């Protein structure tokens, strides 16, 4: 199918894109089904990125399309402030039943960035609500990605996402990242070395004093900066330290949520339960924007004081628990459950791992790492021109029929969870071809 290409690409200021380069040679997607996109010029592209880490059940799922269409006909919008609609409550109950205790409440947002802002605000307000109003500082981590709003870039650890935007949020500190290619290159699953990186949190707490710290936020597996898998014991150690110092631990599961690691959530994979979990993306299979922040009843209950007619948390969005998003999410959860997609780890992760690691030894490759259905191939950067080599790989793969994602000089792979072994083979053979021809 060829679709008409607009003759003016100028007006749309594209996000996180090299606009001038893109507009000279646009890569336009026209349709999608299952594991594939079709480009505007009629070429089929294997989606090795689940869109943008979100289309976990594959594209064009009829059940979601129908649920969304029906919902728009039935109740197109309902305000979420001082009003409600049944599906919001039904979805919240369903989602929280998927989470370990005590994460039994969920606050709805419209994106990962909003989930992060919401979690940070709840953390600070919670400390105040329980009489610990000095606990306001937030601790993030280098190479963390928590979306693009001011709170998220402040606790985040990506220099380019921070340096243009002024003084950011005050009262934030960062732990070092856990990427240690010298000791952990070519790890399969969790790397052996690096549990001690968690101890840096003790040092930071000592510096600021626990009485001033509200929360620590990390991605259990950092996706956007190149699939940085936590070293063995690291998350457990963070949990211990936070508990010891009465500091909230927030896991940002915007990528790891909904099956990416081969378990429903990273909390299941690692067996570590934080006080809050931020989600988005796979919550609706990427079809309708939605996010959710899970929190413990202890946090929720801390707000449920004061007169009953009074609003307890002065926070929320016009589109929180949007009925169409709720319908999309419920249909998505049905697909995940019916097809066992959130637990494909044991069945497929090993195959994916072996396929990826078969690329070891190809030109430019300096590390390969993986966990569940996510993997990364790190390339040696071109001297003085960081990111250029991986971007060239991205363009070459696009020409060869694969849409993948690159970040820095790292190829990141996160196919929809419906991917077949044959499709994994194709993906890896295209990457091998790309690497062999790359300068």
Ligand X SMILES: Cc1ncc(COP(=O)(O)O)c(C=O)c1O
Residues that bind ligand X (CB under 6 A): 53, 111-113, 116, 145-147, 219, 223-224, 252, 254-255, 280
User: In the sheet that 44-47 helps form, which strands lie side by side, from edge to edge?
Assistant: 29-33, 36-39, 44-47, 402-403
Cα torsion 265, 57, 95, 287: sign: positive
Q: In the chain, count of helices (H) and strands (E)?
A: 16, 15
The structure tokens listed for 402 are: 């694969």
- DSSP letter at 229 equals P
Using the minimum distance from each CB to ligand X, give the nearer residue, 38 or 224.
224
Using the minimum distance from each CB to ligand X, give the nearer residue, 295 or 355.
295
Q: Report in angstroms how near the CB of residue 351 gets to ligand X at its nearest.
A: 25
Nearest-CB residue for ligand X: 112
Using the minimum distance from each CB to ligand X, give the nearer residue, 148 or 362.
148
Q: Report in angstroms how near the CB of residue 295 gets to ligand X at its nearest.
A: 16
Q: Report in angstroms how near the CB of residue 155 gets to ligand X at its nearest.
A: 10
Q: Report in angstroms how near the CB of residue 392 gets to ligand X at its nearest.
A: 23
Q: Report in angstroms how near the CB of residue 132 gets to ligand X at its nearest.
A: 26
Q: Report in angstroms how near the CB of residue 422 gets to ligand X at its nearest.
A: 28
Taking the C-alpha atoms of residue 282 and residue 418, their distance in angstroms, rounded to an integer, is 13
User: In the sheet that 374-379 helps form, which strands lie side by side, from edge to edge?
Assistant: 365-371, 374-379, 410-413, 405-407
Task: Determine which helix (DSSP H) or strand (DSSP E) holds 375, and give its type and residue range.
Answer: strand 374-379
Neighbouring CB atoms inside 10 A of 229's CB total 26
The structure tokens listed for 259 are: 């099956």
Q: Which residues pair with 213 in a beta bridge?
A: 137
CB neighbour list of residue 208: distance below 8 Å, 6 or more residues apart: 137, 173
Q: Is the peptide bond before 102 cis (omega within 30 degrees of 0)?
A: yes
Q: Report in angstroms how near the CB of residue 291 gets to ligand X at its nearest.
A: 7
Q: Report in angstroms how near the CB of residue 257 gets to ligand X at its nearest.
A: 9
Q: Report in angstroms how near the CB of residue 83 gets to ligand X at its nearest.
A: 25
Using the minimum distance from each CB to ligand X, give the nearer residue, 179 or 364.
179
Residue recorded with tokens 């000279």: 24
Using the minimum distance from each CB to ligand X, give the nearer residue, 116 or 205.
116
Neighbouring CB atoms inside 10 A of 81's CB total 10
Per DSSP, helices labelled H in 276-342 are 297-303, 323-339
Using the minimum distance from each CB to ligand X, give the nearer residue, 51 or 231.
51
Using the minimum distance from each CB to ligand X, give the nearer residue, 223 or 372.
223
CA atoms lying within 13 Å on the CB side of residue 402? 27
Using the minimum distance from each CB to ligand X, give the nearer residue, 147 or 231.
147
Greatest distance between any 2 Cα atoms in the chain: 68
Using the minimum distance from each CB to ligand X, give the nearer residue, 113 or 332.
113
- DSSP letter at 364 equals T
Phi first, then psi: what are they for 172, rounded to 5°?
A: -120, 140
Q: Report in angstroms how near the CB of residue 361 gets to ligand X at its nearest.
A: 30
Taking the C-alpha atoms of residue 230 and residue 192, their distance in angstroms, rounded to an integer, is 9
Taking the C-alpha atoms of residue 59 and residue 275, their distance in angstroms, rounded to an integer, is 33
Using the minimum distance from each CB to ligand X, give the nearer residue, 223 or 375.
223
Selection from 51, 73, 74 nearest residue 284 by Cα = 51
Judge whether 61 and 285 are in contact, CB under 8 Å: yes
């Amino acid at each position: 199918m060829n679709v008409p290409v607009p003759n003016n690409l100028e007006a749309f200021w594209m996000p996180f894109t090299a606009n001038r380069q893109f507009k000279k040679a646009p890569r336009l997607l026209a349709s999608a089904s299952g594991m594939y996109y079709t480009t505007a010029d009629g070429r089929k592209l294997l989606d090795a990125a689940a869109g943008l880490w979100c289309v976990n059940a594959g594209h064009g799922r009829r059940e979601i399309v129908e649920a969304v269409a029906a919902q728009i006909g039935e109740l197109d919008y309902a305000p979420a402030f001082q009003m409600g609609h049944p599906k919001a409550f039904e979805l919240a109950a369903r989602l929280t039943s998927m989470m370990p205790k005590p994460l039994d409440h969920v606050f709805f947002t419209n994106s990962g960035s909003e989930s992060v802002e919401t979690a940070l605000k709840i953390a600070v307000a919670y400390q105040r609500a329980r009489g610990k109003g000095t606990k306001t500082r937030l601790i993030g981590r280098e190479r963390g990605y928590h979306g693009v709003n001011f709170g998220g870039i402040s606790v985040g650890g990506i220099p380019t996402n921070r340096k243009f935007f002024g003084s950011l949020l005050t009262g934030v500190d960062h732990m070092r990242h856990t990427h240690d290619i010298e000791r952990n290159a070519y790890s399969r699953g969790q790397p052996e070395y690096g549990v001690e990186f968690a101890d840096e949190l003790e040092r930071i707490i000592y510096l600021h004093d626990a009485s001033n710290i509200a929360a620590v936020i990390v991605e259990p597996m950092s996706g956007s900066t190149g699939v940085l898998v936590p070293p063995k014991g690291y998350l457990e150690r963070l949990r211990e330290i936070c508990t010891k110092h009465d500091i909230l631990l927030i896991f940002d599961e915007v990528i790891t949520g909904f099956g990416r690691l081969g378990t429903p959530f990273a909390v299941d994979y690692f067996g570590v339960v934080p006080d809050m979990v931020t989600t988005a993306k796979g919550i609706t299979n990427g079809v309708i924007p939605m996010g959710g922040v899970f929190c413990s009843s202890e946090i929720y209950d801390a707000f449920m004081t004061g007169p009953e007619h009074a609003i307890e948390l002065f926070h929320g969005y016009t589109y929180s628990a949007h009925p169409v998003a709720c319908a999309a999410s419920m249909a998505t959860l049905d697909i995940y459950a019916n097809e066992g997609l959130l637990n494909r780890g044991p069945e497929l992760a090993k195959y994916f791992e072996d396929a990826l690691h078969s690329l070891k030894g190809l030109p430019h490759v300096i590390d390969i790492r993986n966990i569940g259905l996510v993997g990364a191939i790190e390339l040696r950067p071109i001297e003085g021109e960081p990111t250029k080599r991986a971007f060239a790989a991205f363009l070459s793969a696009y020409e060869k029929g694969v849409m993948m994602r690159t970040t820095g000089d790292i190829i990141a792979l996160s196919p929809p969870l419906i991917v077949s072994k044959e499709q994994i083979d194709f993906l890896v053979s295209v990457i091998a071809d790309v690497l062999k021809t790359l300068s």
